Amino acid sequence: MQTSNARKRLAQALRERGPVVTIGVHNPLGARLAQEAGFDAVWVSGLELSAAAGVPDANILSMRDFLDSARQITESVDLPVICDCDTGFGNAMNVMSVVRQYEAAGVAAICIEDKVFPKLNSFAKGKQKLVSKVEFAGKIEAAKHAKKSDDFTVIARTEALIAGAGMAEALDRARAYATAGADVILIHSKSPNPDEVCEFLSYWDHETPIAVVPTTYPQLNADELHERGANLVIYANHGLRASIRAITETFAQIKAERSTINAEKSIASVARIFELQDMASFRDHEERFVRSDEDEESS
């Protein structure tokens, strides 16, 4: 169960400048696997939530859809939960409502990005349109104004490099968002190598911690990114990609062999599912609390 402790832990780790290493999830099962693997936090990915629903990552799912998933995940793990909130689902007023609801749901952090609504996933071909710097700074100030706890983290993500607006624009926006009160700046990049992100990090001259999403540039590990100035490293979608590969192969094998005899060797057992559902404590509680008149008569 998520508590204010998890929120505090994340805020503290960021104050100590990390590295905080987090992995993308879209449901409580993924979050439990992330917790078991020892990640510092989970990233509730808009791409993963959308893909799991079978729709593009383009604000097809609603804020309520995202929030419902965030709440379920928050209730299932002790880890800090960092939620991708796309553009904040509207203008600064929508952002205020988002912050109030996500904070009430117990999440540790939200991330909003400086693109127009509806957004399109950063790796999708097509125009990536930015809102103005002043408009987005207003959204960050609104988020900070709406939050109740000092430990609730507001991450401002600039898509300037994604939109092809250049390094100077990315830095200018990041500085403006830091000045507006963002707790973390996320610099996103779709470059096939870490050079532009490292260049950004080398120029960064604010105290505000930096988050990176090394999806297209896996050449540097989390510690190497940290050495270059990144404080929060988000492996945004690797669980989803691992599961797509595993399910595709297993389904093909079972279909081809018309049997599960070989597939059994490479898939999780039912006992493992029960473990992840915390079946043992369920059965323990069932034993203690579920009673009937027949039990009474037989005792």
Q: Which residues bind ligand SPV (CB under 6 A)?
A: 24, 45-47, 57, 84, 121-123, 213, 215, 236-237
Can you tell me which residue has the tokens 């880890």?
79
Nearest distance from residue 234's CB to ligand SPV, in Å? Answer: 7
Smaller CB distance to Mg ion: residue 154 or 228?
154
| CB-nearest residue to Mg ion | 46
Q: Report the alpha-carbon distance of residue 49 to residue 61 in Å, rounded.
A: 8
Smaller CB distance to ligand SPV: residue 19 or 214?
214
| 194 binds Mg ion, rule: CB under 5 A | no
278 assigned to active site: no
Site string for Mg ion, 7-46 (x = CB under 5 A): ---------------------------------------x
Nearest distance from residue 266's CB to Mg ion, in Å? Answer: 31
Catalytic residue among 40, 57, 86, 183: 57
Stretch that binds Mg ion, among 79-87, 145-153, 176-184, 209-217 (CB under 5 A): 79-87
Burial class (CB in 10 A: 0-12, 13-18, 19+), 68: middle
Instruction: State the binding partner of 2 from ligand SPV, Mg ion, none, CB within 5 to 8 A by kind.
Output: none
Nearest distance from residue 48's CB to ligand SPV, in Å? Answer: 6
Smaller CB distance to ligand SPV: residue 209 or 214?
214
Beta carbons within 8 Å of 38's beta carbon, 6+ residues apart: none
Site for Mg ion in 280-299 (CB under 5 A): none
Q: Report how many residues bind Mg ion under the rule CB under 5 A.
A: 2
Instruction: Return residues touching Mg ion (CB under 5 A).
Output: 46, 84
Instruction: Give the active site residues.
Output: 57
